[in-house]
């Protein structure tokens, strides 16, 4: 059966007494939980100690949320510092708006601090983390669906997304009590969600096939995500800062993706680290397993 269009939620906030329950926040939390569970399994399978992942997440998650919000505000400042903007809304994370680039950058700082405290090299941990991050990002995109945001240009394709006029966490209703429909658009949130899941599967396959180590699985994650974000970003129509008429996230995708590929090939041929629980991670030259192909 072919869908005429994909429906969008007409409510993203539910009041539980004085406590607002926000779908966006729930999706972010669900993504974090999924990333921790996936990474824990991969880390222990690599020889890491149980519990390491949760201890590192305690540092990485708050840093990542702050970094994600900072990047969003810097890359889309008009709503906060432009004409009619409200600077205090820059702190309203519950309204949506977390830039993945900032989240990874500052989250990486938090992870580095935690890894250093536990004697774990960051690249080894990042390799275990990579697929879980992609799954977390995919789950997080459902929050954009609940908020009726991050869609592309108008379309009448069978998978077009209905978007309603939105105000305060709910769709605006007309005189008959029906949500006001703005039109049908490309569901770029869904494109990115599916791309992230496919990229996660690709990273897992490549990691098993070539025994990636020294941050190469993480570099492959970054490059794969950037490739998808590049073409998806070109479809988006939400307000964003531009550079020479091109959305700034397009340039970020190109630059970060190229750097990730450069690192991936720079580290080629190195055998995967041997992880001993409770000890530092070290690459053993006498590892009997063959090195990954260059």
Q: pLDDT tens for the chain, 294 residues: list them.
A: 445 789 999 999 998 888 889 999 999 999 999 999 999 999 999 999 999 999 999 999 999 999 999 988 887 787 788 777 788 878 877 666 788 889 999 999 999 999 999 999 999 999 999 999 999 999 999 999 999 988 999 999 999 999 999 987 899 999 999 999 999 999 999 999 999 999 999 999 999 999 999 999 999 999 999 999 999 999 998 777 777 888 888 999 999 999 999 999 999 988 888 776 554 444 433 344 444 444
What SS3 class is residue 267?
Answer: coil
**What is the structure's pLDDT at 3?**
56
**Judging by beta carbons within 10 Å of its beta carbon (0-12, 13-18, 19+), is residue 17 exposed, middle or buried?**
exposed
Largest CA distance in the chain: 75
Angle (deg, nearest 10), helices 216-235 and 122-146: 20
Whole-angstrom Cα distance, residue 235 to residue 247? 11
**What is the structure's pLDDT at 282?**
42
The runs of H, that is alpha helices, within the chain are 23-45, 52-75, 78-81, 100-118, 122-146, 188-210, 216-235, 248-266
**What is the structure's pLDDT at 258?**
98
**What is the structure's pLDDT at 244?**
80
**What is the structure's pLDDT at 277?**
59
Closest by Cα among 161, 136, 139 to 150: 161
Whole-angstrom Cα distance, residue 271 to residue 240? 42
**What is the structure's pLDDT at 286?**
37
CB 194 within 8 A of CB 238: no
Length of the chain: 294
Q: Are strands 166-167 and 246-247 parallel, antiparallel or unpaired?
A: unpaired
Supply 288's token pair.
């009997």
**What is the structure's pLDDT at 72?**
86
pTM as predicted = 0.88
Supply 128's token pair.
């275990």
**What is the structure's pLDDT at 19?**
87
Supply 2's token pair.
């072919």
**What is the structure's pLDDT at 279?**
46
- The CB-side HSE value for 100 (13 A sphere, CA atoms) comes to 21
């Amino acid at each position: 059966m072919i869908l005429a269009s994909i429906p969008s939620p007409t409510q993203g906030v539910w009041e539980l007494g004085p406590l607002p329950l926000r779908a966006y926040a729930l999706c972010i939390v669900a993504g974090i939980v999924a990333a921790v569970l996936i990474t824990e399994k991969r880390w222990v399978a690599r020889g890491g100690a149980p519990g390491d992942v949760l201890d590192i997440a305690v540092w990485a998650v708050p840093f990542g949320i702050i970094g994600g919000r900072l990047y969003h505000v810097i890359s889309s400042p008009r709503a906060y510092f432009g004409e009619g903007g409200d600077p205090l809304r820059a702190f309203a994370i519950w309204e949506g708006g977390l830039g993945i680039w900032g989240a990874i950058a500052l989250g990486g700082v938090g992870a580095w601090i935690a890894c250093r405290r536990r004697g774990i090299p960051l690249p080894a941990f990042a390799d275990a983390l990579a697929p879980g991050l992609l799954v977390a990002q995919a789950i997080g995109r459902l929050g954009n669906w609940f908020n009726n945001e991050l869609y592309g240009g108008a379309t009448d394709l069978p998978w077009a997304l209905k978007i309603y006029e939105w105000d305060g966490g709910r769709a605006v209703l007309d005189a008959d009590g029906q949500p006001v429909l703005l039109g049908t658009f490309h569901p770029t949130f869904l494109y990115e969600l599916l791309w992230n899941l496919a990229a996660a599967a690709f990273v897992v396959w490549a990691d098993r096939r070539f025994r990636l180590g020294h941050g190469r699985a993480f570099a492959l994650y970054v490059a794969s995500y950037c490739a998808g974000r590049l073409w998806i970003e070109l479809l988006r129509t939400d307000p964003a800062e531009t550079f020479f008429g091109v959305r700034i996230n397009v340039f970020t995708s190109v630059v970060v993706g190229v750097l990730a590929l450069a690192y991936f090939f720079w580290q080629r041929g190195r055998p995967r680290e041997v992880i001993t629980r409770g000890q530092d991670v070290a690459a053993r030259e006498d590892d009997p397993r063959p090195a990954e192909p260059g």
